[in-house]
Amino acid sequence: MSHNITVLGLESSCDDTAAAVVRRTNSESAEVLSSVVWGQEGLHAAFGGVVPEIAARAHAERLDLCVEQALEQAGLTLGEVDAIAVTAGPGLIGGVISGVMCAKGLSIGSGKPLVGVNHLAGHALTPRMTDGVEYPYLMLLVSGGHCQFLGVHGPDQFTRMGGTIDDAPGEAFDKSAKLLGLGYPGGPLIEEEAKNGDPKRFRFPRPLLDRPDLDMSFSGLKTALRRARDTLVAEKGGLTVQDRADLCASFQQAVADTLAEKTRRACIAFGKPVETPVLAVAGGVAANSLIRSALQKVAAQEGFRFLAPPLKYCTDNGAMIAWAGLERFAGGESDDLTLSARPRWPLDKAATPMLGSGKKGAKA
C-alpha cells in the first residue's frame, strides 16, 4: 500500500546552493514543502563565469544553512523526513563533494537513508513533480552546462537522442555577453539588449543543421560573434549601442533557430508513443522568451504538448533533486556511505559519449 514519502534534497553541482523538502502523497501528486536556493552569481560576476574553487567553498559554507532553512520552512525536523537525496554528479567536483559529504553527515546523524541523484535526472524528472507528466516524454535540457534531447521512459531510463558536441547554449550566451562587455550571467542581458536590435543584420551560422542527427554545436556561433565585433571595431574604432543590440539580436536568433529546428527533428524521432506526447524543457535558457516561443511553435506543429515548468524549478534547485531521489527511493533504491561524487555521469549508459570523453569517461 502506498503512503506519503517525504524527501530532503541537496544541490551543489554548479553555482546554486540549494535544499528543499518534497512530499509525494497517496494520490501520487507532489507537494514542494520548501525550496531554498542561495545563488552565487555575485561571487562569480567579476570573472564572467563560475570559478570552481570559489563555488566549492561557498557551498561548504552555505549548505547546512540552506538545509536548516528548508526544514524550518517545511515545518519538519530531520527526523520526520524519509530519506536524504543529494546530487552526486555530474558537475564541478568540489561542489558535488561538498553536497555529498553534507548529506552523508546528515544521514549518519539521523539514521535516514541516503539517495544519490544524477543532476540531469533531476532536471529530466521535474515535469513529473510539477505537472504529474506520465512516462514516456521528450525533454530538451538547455542550461549553462548542458544541452541534450532525452527520451524519458522511467526514473532511471533515459535515451540520449542528441546534444551539443561543444558549448551548451547558456555557456555561449555567457561567453558572448563577455565579448560584448555585458555582465554575467549573459543570457538575460543579451535578451534585454536584443529587444532593440535587428536579428537579420548579422547572418550568424545555424550550426550542424546540415547534419540529419540531433547533435548541436554552439561554440562556432560565439566565434562568429567575436569576428563580427572585431570587424566593426576595426572599421569604426568601437561599437555603437545599435551595433551591440544588433549583434545580440542576431546571436539570439541563431540560437533560437538552431534549437527549434533540432527540436522539430527530435519530435519526429521520438514519434507518437501516445496520442499527444509531451515536449518538456528545463534549464536556464528556457527562460528566454524568443527561444521558448520558438519551441512552443514547433511543439504545436508536431502535435506535442509543450510544457515549461515554472522557472524556479527549471533552473538549478533542491526540489528537483528531492523529487528524483524520491522516485528512486520509492522504487526501493538507496545508497550507502560509499556513494561517491562524480564529475562525469552520463544519464544514458548506452549512448555514445559526447562531450570530451577522456580517461574518466563521458562527461554528459
Binding segment (CB under 6 A) for ligand KG4, from list 17-25, 269-277, 281-289, 355-363:
281-289
Pick between residue 205 and residue 343 the one whose CB is nearest to Zn ion.
343
Residue 144 vs 163, nearer CB to ligand KG4: 144
| Residue 173 contacts which entry, Zn ion, ligand KG4, none (Cβ below 5-8 A, type-dependent) | ligand KG4
Pick from 263, 258, 262: which is nearest to 219 by CA? Answer: 258
* Binding to ligand KG4, residues 311-330 (CB under 6 A): 315-316
Pairing of strands 305-307, 147-154: unpaired
The reply on whether position 170 binds ligand KG4 by CB under 6 A is yes
Strand pairing of 5-11 and 16-24?
antiparallel
For residues 118 and 96, give the distance between their C-alpha atoms in angstroms, rounded to a whole number: 11
- Among 186, 197, 277, 325, interactor with ligand KG4 by CB under 6 A: 186
Q: Beta partners for 87?
A: 117
CA distance 236 to 231: 9
Q: How far is CA 111 from CA 84, 98, 104, 178, 329, in A?
A: 10, 20, 10, 47, 15
β-bridge pairing 114-118 and 83-89: parallel
The least CB distance from residue 316 to Zn ion, in Å, is: 4
Q: Is 32 helix (H, G, I), strand (E, B) or coil?
A: strand
Verify binding: residue 249, ligand KG4, rule CB under 6 A: no
List the strands of the sheet with 137-142, edge to edge: 157-163, 147-154, 137-142, 278-282, 305-307
Stretch that binds ligand KG4, among 152-160, 185-193, 219-227, 323-331 (CB under 6 A): 185-193
According to the binding rule CB under 6 A, does residue 14 interact with ligand KG4? yes
Pairing of strands 16-24, 30-39: antiparallel
Considering only 53-61, 139-147, 224-232, 330-338, which stretch makes contact with ligand KG4 by CB under 6 A?
139-147
**Pick 22 or 256: Cβ nearer ligand KG4:** 256
Binding window for ligand KG4 (CB under 6 A); candidates: 100-108, 222-230, 260-268, 284-292? 284-292
Residue 143 interacts with ligand KG4 (CB under 6 A): yes or no: yes
Contacts of residue 181, defined as CB under 8 A and 6 or more positions apart, other chains included, come to none
HSE of 235, CA atoms in CB hemisphere, 13 A = 9
Residues numbered 187 to 206 that lie near ligand KG4 (CB under 6 A) are 187-188, 191
The CA distance from 26 to 32, in Å, is 15
Position 285 contacts ligand KG4 (CB under 6 A): yes
Cis peptide bond prior to 185, omega within 30° of 0? yes
How is residue 235 written as a grid cell?
Answer: 572599421
Cα separation values, 355 from 44, 162, 215, 352, Å? 24, 11, 11, 10
Residue 39 vs 78, nearer CB to ligand KG4 = 39
Ranked by CB distance to ligand KG4, the top (closest) residue is 187
Q: Of these, 9, 89, 145, 151, which contacts ligand KG4 (CB under 6 A)?
A: 145
| CB of 191 or CB of 243, closer to ligand KG4 | 191
Question: Which region among 107-115, 183-191, 194-202, 268-276 touches ligand KG4 (by CB under 6 A)?
Answer: 183-191
**What does 315 interact with, of Zn ion, ligand KG4, none (CB < 5 to 8 A by kind)?**
ligand KG4
Does the protein bind ligand KG4 through residue 345 (CB under 6 A)?
Answer: no
Please say which residue, 162 or 283, places its beta carbon nearer to Zn ion.
283
Residue type (1 letter), 360: K
Nearer to ligand KG4 among residue 106 and residue 287 (C-beta) = 287
Among 38, 173, 202, 323, binds ligand KG4 (CB under 6 A): 173
Give the binding site for Zn ion (CB under 5 A). Answer: 143, 316
Retrieve residue 114's grid coordinates.
541516503
Q: Are 181 and 189 in contact (CB under 8 A)?
A: no
Interface with ligand KG4 (CB under 6 A): 14, 143-145, 170-171, 173-174, 185-188, 191, 283-285, 287-288, 315-316
